[in-house]
Chain A
Amino acid sequence: DAGITQSPRHKVTETGTPVTLRCHQTENHRYMYWYRQDPGHGLRLIHYSYGVKDTDKGEVSDGYSVSRSKTEDFLLTLESATSSQTSVYFCAIRQGENEQFFGPGTRLTVL
């Protein structure tokens, strides 16, 4: 499982509330990613990080921000959650040139 944990694993929240999801890795990988997975869309990249305090946008970054203050932790924040952000969120790390390994996921429901 590449030493990746995500928390919380499930969350139900209300529209307009802030939400922070955490990804934690134990193997000192430089690259970390946040994806969302939705039916009919597959996995889509939200943001990624290539080092402490180094982050960049993916293809669906609107409404999301990220932070990485330590190598092992990559946080995804929804500043004001909307129903369209109901999804399953996966964190991933990169090992080698291209191989990405995924965490167990966080199931988020925004009511």
Chain B
Amino acid sequence: QKEVEQDPGPLSVPEGAIVSLNCTYSNSAFQYFMWYRQYSRKGPELLMYTYSSGNKEDGRFTAQVDKSSKYISLFIRDSQPSDSATYLCAMRNNFGNEKLTFGTGTRLTIIP
């Protein structure tokens, strides 16, 4: 079983909809949580970074972390065709370990 599980999709939603992307994890030592967006044939781009539990909002994006359930989410409001990409979750622990553990990514398409 992988440490981080992410539904690969594909996920297609109409423009303007609210998108919910999720990851579950098994390692309770994870403390830092990130979401990356990756366009086709490009490098991952850091969208959101949160520490421990709670919510963080940045424009149309909201990241949520529920450590008790080992579950993280990324919400995209008022989705746009330009949001069409693969979204990767990533996380790491707090023990000086440089390793980021990534999910396999969810492919999202916003339909105009």
Q: Does A59 make an interface contact (CB < 8 A)?
A: yes
Q: Which residues in B have their C-beta under 8 angstroms from that of A105?
A: 41-43
Is the pair B34, A45 in contact by a Cβ cutoff of 8 Å? no
In contact, A43 and B49 (Cβ under 8 angstroms) = no
Residue of B nearest to A100 (CB): B100
* CB pair B43 A90 closer than 8 Å: yes
Beyond known contacts A42-B102, A45-B98: 8 more, CB 8 A cutoff: A42-B6, A42-B103, A42-B104, A43-B90, A48-B98, A90-B43, A90-B44, A104-B43
Say yes or no: is B99 at the interface (Cβ < 8 Å to chain A).
Answer: yes
Contact assessment for A45 and B104 in the assembled complex, using a CB-CB cutoff below 8 Å = no
A6 nearest CB across to chain B (Å)? 9
Interface size class of A (residues with CB under 8 A): 20 to 34
Alpha-carbon distance between A101 and B103 when the two chains are bound, in angstroms: 17
Query: Binary interface profile of B, 67-93, with partner A (CB < 8 Å = 1, else 0)?
Result: 000000000000000000000101010
How many A-B pairs with Cβ below 8 Å? 53
Q: Taking chain A's interface residues, is the majority helix, strand, or loop, or is none over half, making it mixed?
A: strand
A-B pairs with the 3 shortest C-beta distances?
A102-B43, A42-B102, A43-B102
Interface residues of A in 60-91 (CB under 8 A from B): 90
Does A16 sit within 8 A of B, measured CB to CB? no
Determine if A101 and B46 form an interchain contact, defined as CB atoms under 8 angstroms apart: yes
- Kindly identify which residue among B4, B49, B99, B103 contacts A45, using a CB–CB cutoff of 8 Å: B99
- List 15 A-B residue pairs with CB atoms under 8 Å apart, sorted by A's residue number: A42-B4, A42-B88, A43-B44, A43-B88, A45-B98, A56-B98, A58-B99, A98-B34, A98-B51, A99-B49, A100-B46, A101-B46, A102-B36, A103-B43, A104-B43
Residues in chain B near residue A41, CB distance under 8 A:
104
Chain A CB within 8 A of B32 CB = yes
Instruction: Give the shortest distance, in Å, between B102 (CB) and chain A (any CB).
Output: 4
Q: How far is the CB of B1 from chain A (nearest CB, A)?
A: 14
B66 within 8 A of partner (CB): no
Instruction: Assess the B104–A102 pair: CB atoms within 8 A.
Output: no
